[in-house]
């Protein structure tokens, strides 16, 4: 870059050169940068950045795409040039950089995902690592192809909200449900909700991925088997269950523990404390908390002698994605007020005695719906 004749040629190409002259200059500068990029100082890289930016402004798509492929895998590539390439409307240009370049900041990728095409989003979804901020946008904006790609990306990390949206999108999408169910980092409450909405085929496939002995069972048994296996393997649930049991045996477990756990959005603590307080099976508490329909949860709260305040905290837990408006919550609490403890206990006892078959599950839900309709 210090050769006067070379610099003169570049300046001439930028100022008044033909398209072919610009193409040749762009190729020479790119080759020069590639040959010694690891030895250049920050200031020297900035010079290359300026030159490449000016030369690339008036060249055709193919030349920009070749430049993108050359720079995409270079850890010290000119940062402004990389950003410009990433936001190029032509995916042939933007794609290589979006997939591979380490020079793009998280904020660049978030902005790109929020504003560019589905092809751009698909390229981002293929990156080796993706932060929660990026995947939140991909899950929100991405089409089916994008969401499948990011859900199957082992280097992607998802926020709790992101996982919730993924699980909701998996309803009726078997392939997406499988991608989510086979991830090692999916939070337990999202996995359980996925199981209860997944098709029989997906549940059987997930059961086949579990340790030996869990294959070839009925669909309902497979679901409960996986749920129990995930619950047993969860250190958060084990810790919550141990603490709740210790309070229970020392007569210190009360409604306040359920309220505190629900108010803090702690799924495992809420499950453990409510199950012990009401002497309920853990799986029915999990189902009540994860069901978008609040009826089972209202019955559990009444059977456990919970107050209106604690019941409201349970309804406001985000794990089910209920998203209840103020008038919906008030309507649910009005039904809770009219529901008797005896009726709630009768329904729970019905479930406990008949929880082994799929048909009984359906009857249980029908009984719940009939009871809540009567008190509405």
pLDDT tens, residue by residue, 245-297: 777 677 778 999 999 999 999 988 999 899 999 988 888 888 888 888 889 89
| Span 87-91, average pLDDT | 96
Higher pLDDT, 306 or 372: 306
pLDDT band of residue 234 (cuts 50, 70, 90) is low
Q: How many CB atoms lie within 10 A of CB 114?
A: 12
**pLDDT at site 359:** 52
Q: Which has the higher per-residue pLDDT, 140 or 48?
A: 140
What angle do helix axes 326-338 and 295-303 make, rounded to 10 degrees? 40
The total of other beta-carbon atoms located within 10 Å of residue 32's CB is: 16
Share the mean pLDDT of the chain. 82
58 token code pair:
């008036």
pTM for the model stands at 0.63
What does the alpha-carbon distance between residue 86 and residue 206 come to, in Å, rounded to a whole number? 38
Q: What's the CA gap between 157 and 34, in Å, rounded?
A: 32
Q: pLDDT-derived band of residue 362, with 50, 70 and 90 as boundaries? A: low
Most trustworthy range by pLDDT among 35-44, 174-183, 234-243:
174-183
Spatial distance between the Cα atoms of 164 and 104, rounded to a whole number of angstroms? 27
By percentage, how much of the chain surpasses pLDDT 70?
80
Q: 249-283: string of b/e by CB count within 10 Å (b at 16+)? A: eeeebebebbbebbbeebbbbbbbbbbbbbebebb
Determine the pLDDT at residue 217: 36
Structure letter (DSSP) for residue 287: H
CB pairs under 8 A, 24+ apart, for 177-181?
A: 177/202, 178/202, 178/205, 178/206, 179/148, 179/151, 179/152, 180/151, 181/206, 181/209
Is pLDDT above 50 for 220?
A: no
pLDDT at 8: 52
For the cut 50, the answer to whether the pLDDT of residue 4 exceeds it is no
Q: How far apart are the first and last CA of the chain?
A: 80
Q: Are 138 and 114 in contact (CB under 8 A)?
A: no
Average pLDDT (221-240) is 59
Q: Please determine, for residue 224, whether its predicted confidence score (pLDDT) is greater than 60.
A: no
> CA 151, CA 264: separation in Å to the nearest integer?
28
Residue 221: pLDDT band (50, 70, 90) is: very low
Q: Which two tokens stand for residue 56?
A: 């690339």
Q: Per-domain residue ranges for the chain?
A: 1-87, 252-375
Closest CA to 280 of 310, 249, 305: 305
Residues contacting residue 249 through CB under 8 Å, at least 6 positions apart: none
Residues whose CB falls within 8 Å of the CB of residue 49, separated by 6 or more in sequence, listed in order: 78, 79, 80, 81
Residue 38 or 90, more confident: 90
Per-residue pLDDT, 215: 30
With tokens 């979804």, the residue in question is 125
């Amino acid at each position: 870059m210090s050769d006067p004749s070379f610099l003169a040629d570049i300046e001439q190409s930028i100022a008044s050169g033909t398209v072919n002259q610009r193409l040749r200059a762009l190729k020479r500068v790119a080759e020069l940068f590639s040959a010694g990029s690891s030895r250049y100082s920050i200031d020297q890289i900035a010079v290359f950045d300026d030159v490449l930016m000016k030369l690339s402004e008036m060249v055709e798509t193919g030349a920009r795409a070749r430049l993108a492929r050359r720079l995409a895998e270079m850890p010290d590539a000119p940062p402004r040039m990389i950003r410009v390439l990433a936001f190029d409307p032509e995916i042939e240009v933007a794609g290589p950089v979006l997939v591979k370049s380490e020079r793009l900041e998280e904020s660049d990728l978030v902005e790109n995902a929020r504003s560019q095409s589905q092809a751009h989003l698909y390229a981002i979804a293929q990156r080796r690592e993706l932060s929660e901020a990026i995947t939140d946008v991909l899950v929100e904006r991405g089409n089916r192809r994008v969401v499948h790609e990011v859900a199957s990306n082992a280097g992607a990390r998802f926020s709790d909200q992101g996982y919730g949206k993924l699980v909701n999108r998996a309803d009726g999408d078997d392939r997406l449900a499988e991608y989510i169910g086979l991830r090692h980092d999916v939070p337990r409450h999202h996995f359980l909700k996925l199981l209860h909405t997944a098709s029989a085929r997906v549940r059987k496939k997930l059961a086949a991925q579990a340790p030996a002995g869990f294959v070839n069972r009925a669909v309902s048994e497979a679901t409960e088997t996986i749920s129990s296996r995930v619950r047993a393997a969860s250190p958060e649930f084990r810790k919550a269950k141990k603490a709740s049991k210790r309070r229970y045996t020392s007569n210190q477990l009360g409604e306040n523990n359920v309220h505190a756990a629900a108010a803090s959005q702690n799924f495992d603590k809420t499950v453990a404390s409510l199950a012990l307080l009401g002497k309920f099976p853990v799986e029915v508490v999990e189902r009540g908390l994860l069901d978008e329909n609040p009826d089972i949860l209202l019955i559990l709260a009444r059977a456990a002698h919970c107050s209106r305040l604690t019941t409201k905290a349970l309804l406001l837990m985000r794990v089910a994605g209920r998203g209840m408006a103020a008038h919906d919550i008030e309507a649910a609490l009005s039904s809770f007020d009219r529901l008797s403890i005896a009726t709630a206990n009768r329904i729970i006892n019905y479930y406990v005695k008949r929880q082994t078959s799929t048909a009984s599950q359906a009857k249980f839900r029908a009984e719940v719906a009939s009871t809540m309709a009567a008190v509405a």
